[in-house]
Each structure stands twice: as structure tokens, then as C-alpha cells.
Structure 1
């Protein structure tokens, strides 16, 4: 039986814990050793749980990763008292505690008086890359009144994203010089956007800044009938746009269609949009300001000589 903090109902499953488990599983599979894994019901509801298994079925208990301390670990020793109990890749904060002394063998990654070993996660089997997706949503824009669909759009988009096999990164276009969690300058945000595979957004600037960074954007207009997000998508010639009404009727289908496009052809289209922005393609209104402000064109000033 393989257990760890990922097995306890009141524990937690960290990425490091799960990768450490994968390392142990890989070693046991190659050695031809059969095993089961006990998961926390909160993390894997449909998997095997400690509360449901019969300890008598097992001759060995292996505790993987994490610190050896606390009553949860101590209870394992009592419940699996007939088993040979081994801890591997663990930290030992108190060598004299029941959580530690209950094991027949402790292969610690760090312990008092023992040299440290590399964490198990470091040598876990390689993982396939997953898309890294920035998510930029707004829950405001009350100026649109009854046409607002922001709550429904956010719920539909985040619910759909929850089921996607991707790395999600919640982002905010609002700058803040005091909150360490937010970017303080446009350059900081753009540096993040450049490193993403895709941006999912219902914000005008979520769309524009993603394209400016050369990153494809899956945009959703959260206003019934279409508003500034739809208008900006047209202005930028960007096709990956889902209307609020379309999201309500065929949301998953539309989102999946544009998701696939953004991660394939959309990569080229986004880089082309970036290059066009950089070249100043198309009027944006700013060039009219000098005339409206009464400015007159001036030639280069001649240097005065004494």
C-alpha cells in the first residue's frame, strides 16, 4: 500500500507529493512489485480511500514524501500494525516522535545528522507539456445595465476551463504598485503574456494586450448584443470571438472550436497581429489630435550660433 499526505481526508495533495509518488510507482513497476495507492476523497473522490480498504490485504505500507509528524501518520502505524512500514523521501523534524519511530525503515530526504538526498519528485518520469493559459475576466462594467451577462459568462468560461487539461493563470490588467500579486507596469504584464500559449478573456484589453504580445486570445463578449469586445475584435480582424448569446446556446462547442484554432493556426495569426500593431497598421484616432488641438506642423529648429 502506497500512502502519503495525499491519502488523508484532512491532508493535501501537492504537485511535489504526486510526482514523488510517480517516482516510487515507476520504480515498483519496473521491479514487478504490485501495489495500490490510497487517495484523499477530497482530491480523488472515485479512487481507493484509506477508510474503505482492508489493511489485512497488505504486507507492506510505504509512506511517500512529506514530513513525518502528527496524529494522522501515527494512526497509520496502529491501523497497519501487522505490516512492514517504510517511509521514503520524507523529512524528519523530530526523530523521537511516534510518527517516525513507528516505521521499520525511514529513507529520509533530510533528517538530523544525515546528509540530504534529492527529493523523489526530481527523478519522477517526464511529463508532457500542457498549454499555459492566462485567464483575464471582469465582473464589473455595470454601465451596460440589463445587457450585462458578465456573471453567466464568467461561470460558463471558468466551468469549461476547469475541465481542460491546461495550466491556468489568473491575470488582472489592473496595475498596482503596492500589491505584490499584481503587475505594477504594462511591461511586466506584457512579459507574462508573451510567455503564454493562449489567453481566455472577456475584456477588451485582455484581447488587445494578448495580441500585442503575439499570443492568441479566445475572447468572449459579456454584453448581450455585443459591445466593445466585439467591436475591438472586428477592428483587429480577430476571429476567435464568442458572443454572450452564443455561449448560452452552444458554449462548449464554440469554446472548443476556437480553443483548437488558437493553439494551431491562431499562433500565426496572433504573431501577424503583433507585427501589424508594431508597424502602426490602421488609424486609431490619435493621429487626429494635433489638428484638433490647433497644433501646427513645425520644421526642425535651426541651431543658434552666437
Structure 2
């Protein structure tokens, strides 16, 4: 039976291709830049992905070397046995490295390429990294995530572990940038804010906050940032009470926690919730509500006279 001849293709590889490699944002953007260039040139290609990063993608072990007549290695440093193995396995291919760093020009990982279009190399002027000119990307929501695994004072009503698991599993499936935050201040740990002003500066720049903490919600609203709040205590506790005090509707009780409910309030926070959060922020600033400090002077005075 006559089989239709397949035209040779280009195989795009990089550190994102190796089973134990990793895919960085810069690597993938560099790949996007190369893809854009090849598409404009009308050249057919495949991409070899690490099975750990793209389980459903094409993997190096599944690539038939005879399917390709050219191999391109994109981004990253040229060194090590993994790249040397590419040279052996695809020895029949024209092999080009692009946007790479050359540390040792005499390394077999480097000399195995027919041509190296380096971004930096000894005795050569540097070129822009490929990621710099990668195609523009659409903006994604930036979500601060403030969760607690403590609060053991609530005893058997605690659902903190369940809430944290369900919320983080759900967030994993959202197309957003996630930023884990902590309301605890620390003057020694560089990863934590040392002052409320530092944390407030982060909250000011977010699109929304997902939290099961009272102060995660209050501080987000103080910044005018919508908060998707979950009360981790069965029957409702301080998070529910504070949402009621603030007139904030985006609250999910532990008993109703689920993807559909979270999705509903997520969408609301990114639309109508923006205006609602700014309204609460303005009410805070204007002192439209009451808090315990308002009654404190009178209570102190009564305490003195009542002795």
C-alpha cells in the first residue's frame, strides 16, 4: 500500500523538553517568539515538552527522529549530558541553538550544534533575550490568597483544613496569577511584610483577594480590592459577622463551599465587586460605620467613676 510521504518538520526543544527539566516563564515566552517566527516563515514544527509540565503533549521519548530534518534548541544555557544526548539521537538533523547562553564554547553540548545564535557568549556582544520580543499576552487577574490553618479555638466547628484544600484546588484551575500572602508581620523574615503599610501596598495592586481570614477580607476592602471570603467555621463565625458588619456579600459559608459557588463570587468580584469594594473602602475612610473604639472613651470613664 502506498503511504503518503510526510514532509520533514522542525523539532523545537529546550530545557522545557527534558523529563527532569523545568519550564520557566522566560523559556516559554522565548519559545513563543520562535514559534511566531517560524509561522511567519511558513515552516512546520513540533514542540517536545517535559511530561511533568505538559502530560498530554509530545514528549522526547515519543519523537521519531526520522520525522525531523532540523532540531532547534531554544533558550537556556548550553551544557550537560542531556543536550549532548540530543546531538547523538538527532545526529542526522541540522541542529541550531537560538537565544542561548554559552559558558564553555568547547563543550560538546555547544560544539554539537551546527550553528549557535547565542544571547551571550565569551568574546561576543550580547543580544536581546528571545522573551523580550515574544508576542503580547492578555492580562490575567491577580489574586492574593490569604488562608489560615490555625484558629483551634473553634474546636469541632473548625473546617479550616477542608476549606484550604478545596479553595486551593479550585484556584489551581483558575487562569489567574496567584500570590500567597500572610497577614502576620515579621521584621526578620524577608518573605513577610514587616509593617501594615507594606501589606496594604500589595493589596492595593491586586484584582481580588481570596481569603478565609477576617483581616484578609477587611484589609482587602480597606484597599478597595474585592474579597472573596470563605468562613471556615461551621455555622459561621467572625468572618461571617464581619462581612455582615461591612455589608459585604461575597461570602461563602463552609457548608456551601464548592466550585460553582466560588466561581459565582469570583466573577462578581471581577465585575460588580470592584465598585462595591471601593464603596466599602470609602465608607471605612469616612467613618460611616461604628467600631469598638468609638465607645472606648466612655467605657474608660465609666470604669473610673464606677470604682
TM-score range, shorter chain: over 0.9
The counterpart of 1:221, out of the listed 222, 228, 231, is 231
1:188 aligned counterpart, secondary structure: helix
Q: What are the Cα deviations for residues 214-273 of structure 1, in whole angstroms up to 9, with x where unaligned?
A: 0000000000000000000000000000000001xxx11100000000000000000010
* Structure 2 residue aligned with 1:165: 175
* Structure 2 residue aligned with 1:10: 20
* Structure 2 residue aligned with 1:236: 246
Q: What are the Cα deviations for residues 2-38 of structure 1, in whole angstroms up to 9, with x where unaligned?
A: 0000000011000000000000000000110000000
1:36 aligned counterpart, secondary structure: strand
Aligned pairs for 1:55-204 (under 5 A) are 55-204=65-214
**1:292 CA drift (Å):** 1.5
**1:288 CA drift (Å):** 1.2
2:98 aligned counterpart, secondary structure: strand
The RMSD of aligned alpha carbons is: 0.9
CA–CA separation in structure 2 for the residues paired with 1:238 and 1:289? 25
**1:64 CA drift (Å):** 0.2
Q: What are the Cα deviations for residues 258-293 of structure 1, in whole angstroms up to 9, with x where unaligned?
A: 000000000000001000000111110211111121
* Structure 2 residue aligned with 1:265: 272
CA–CA separation in structure 2 for the residues paired with 1:294 and 1:230? 32
| Long gaps (5+) in structure 1 | 296-306
2:119 aligned counterpart, secondary structure: strand
The counterpart of 1:20, out of the listed 30, 46, 58, is 30
CA–CA separation in structure 1 for the residues paired with 2:290 and 2:278? 20
CA–CA separation in structure 2 for the residues paired with 1:179 and 1:278? 31
Q: What are the Cα deviations for residues 76-109 of structure 1, in whole angstroms up to 9, with x where unaligned?
A: 0000000000000000000000000000000000
The counterpart of 1:279, out of the listed 276, 280, 286, is 286
Between stretches 41-50 and 275-284, larger displacement belongs to 275-284
CA–CA separation in structure 2 for the residues paired with 1:61 and 1:287? 72
CA–CA separation in structure 2 for the residues paired with 1:287 and 1:264? 34
Count matched residues.
293
CA–CA separation in structure 1 for the residues paired with 2:180 and 2:37? 36
| Long gaps (5+) in structure 2 | 1-10, 303-307
Q: What are the Cα deviations for residues 41-86 of structure 1, in whole angstroms up to 9, with x where unaligned?
A: 0000000000111011100000000000000000000000000000
Q: Taking structure 1 as the reference length, what is the TM-score of the superposition?
A: 0.95
CA–CA separation in structure 2 for the residues paired with 1:228 and 1:105? 64
